[in-house]
Amino acid sequence: MSKELESLNEEELLEAWPLLSTEERSEGIRLLDRQQQEDLFLALGGRDQHAFLASLPQTERRSWVRMLPPDDAADLVQEAPPEERQRLLALLDPPARLEVQGLLAYAEDEAGGLMSPRFARVRPDLTVDQAITWLRKQAREKLETIYYVYVIDAEQHLCGVVSFRELFQAPPDKRVRDVMQVDVVTARDDLDQERLSRLFRDWGLLAIPVVDEAGRMKGIVTVDDIVDVVEEEATEDIQKIGGSEALDEPYLTISLPRMLKKRGGWLAVLFLGEMLTATAMAAYEDEIARAVVLALFVPLIISSGGNSGSQASTLVIRAMAVGEVKVRDWWRVVRREFSSGLALGLLLGAIGIVRVLAGEALFHTYGEAAVGVALTVGFSLVGVVLFGTLSGSMLPLLLRRLGLDPASASAPFVATLVDVTGLLIYFSAASLLLRGTLL
């Protein structure tokens, strides 16, 4: 493996990183020159950065930690076990340590936990020429990124914002307050990261200032930070929709016991739910005994309802995630899904009727009750698909109304719910339409 690692540059090593063992990662990064090592280290996530530091001698860790900007250093500290965090903080110089401790006071999924406390700032009473000179000094000393210049007063209140283009185009003796824009898009420091990502999408900004409840500016969140947030949120939602808890770790690195814990709980709940299906079938045991042909269509009925419900829940969950649907839109969703469910049910019901009548014409499977069986299957599919779309679309909205994650309305969960109801609809229709013939 050493010869293969020797041929990789830092970009190739970063791409192969999830597939490498801890020993191979340490060996691979040591084969790079110092500049490549630093580029790779800065490109890693907090979990991988911590794992790399853990493989180094204590005396070598300080230089690596100190190259991180405060927000990345905070991510690194959060990935460490609680008993190790103070040792990592001690590796930072005092000013950086205060910045990181301030970030750690916020939840990691809030704007305050994502922001960088280092941003370009000027006072409103400076002239344009003085502001440019001051910004040059800031850029040399500590600024990581410079997208916009924020104008703050002596109490750190955000007064306005000005772009570099506007600043350089303005007359040198003009005051900053005369060229700044006072209508600024801001985010509260306790704003959820999902809502923060929508701000970036709606306004198309490269950075958004973060303020506290008093309007004092605390930092900025940049668009590259929000890209990671969007990926993380999408990953969690997809995993929940698939019928498991969010893994919170890369798939290839999570331990088997944690993987089983994340997946086993939901599977057990779904299994208990499916036991109700057996209970429902037991309630119609006599009907099944008298007309065994009814059992042939049970998989068709319940799978159609589950599939329609899964479709509806997935579409609504995604619409909620991107802000297209709110809880207040529930009646509009009901009307849309009622129409969709009815149309889809009629489509599948027609296919089911044709299937039964074709089977009778070709193979004489159902005898004199063929028309009754066909109508039973057809009407049942309409009812089951309609119920599936309505329940699948309403469940995410109900969970959001209760303050829970709508993604928990996973496709398997909806399918399990519709399975039981589908059987009740199917056998109720059979009791009505086949009475006096098969039943």
pTM, whole model, 2 decimals? 0.71
Angle (deg, nearest 10), helices 94-104 and 70-79: 60
CA angle 223, 228, 231 (to 5 degrees): 120
Can you give the pLDDT of all 439 residues of the chain as single tens digits? 556 666 677 787 888 787 777 777 877 887 888 888 888 888 888 888 888 888 888 888 898 999 898 988 998 999 888 888 999 999 999 989 999 999 999 988 899 999 999 999 999 999 999 999 999 888 887 777 788 999 999 999 999 999 888 898 999 999 999 999 999 999 999 999 888 988 998 898 899 999 999 999 999 999 888 887 777 777 877 777 777 788 777 777 788 888 888 888 877 877 887 787 778 778 878 777 777 888 889 888 988 998 999 899 989 988 887 788 999 999 999 999 999 999 999 999 999 999 999 988 888 877 778 899 999 999 999 999 999 999 999 999 998 888 888 877 667 778 888 888 888 899 989 888 888 777 6
Domain spanning 121-222: CATH 3.30.70.100: no
**How high is the pLDDT of residue 409?**
65
Contact status, residue 405 vs residue 399, Cβ threshold 8 Å: yes
Q: Which two tokens stand for residue 123?
A: 């006072």
**How high is the pLDDT of residue 6?**
62
Contact status, residue 287 vs residue 427, Cβ threshold 8 Å: yes
Contact status, residue 414 vs residue 309, Cβ threshold 8 Å: yes
CA gap 171, 106 in Å, rounded: 41
Q: 2-107 belongs to which CATH class?
A: mainly alpha
Q: What are the beta bridge partners of residue 162? A: 149
CA gap 34, 406 in Å, rounded: 46
**How high is the pLDDT of residue 2?**
56
CA gap 116, 226 in Å, rounded: 12
Among 290, 298, 307, residue whose Cα is nearest residue 369: 290
Contact status, residue 430 vs residue 422, Cβ threshold 8 Å: no
Q: Which CATH superfamily is domain 256-433 in?
A: SLC41 divalent cation transporters, integral membrane domain (1.10.357.20)
CA gap 170, 318 in Å, rounded: 45
Phi, psi (degrees; rounded to nearest 5) at 216: -80, 135
CA gap 67, 224 in Å, rounded: 18
- What is the residue extent of each domain of the chain? 2-107, 121-222, 256-433
Q: What are the beta bridge partners of residue 116? A: 220
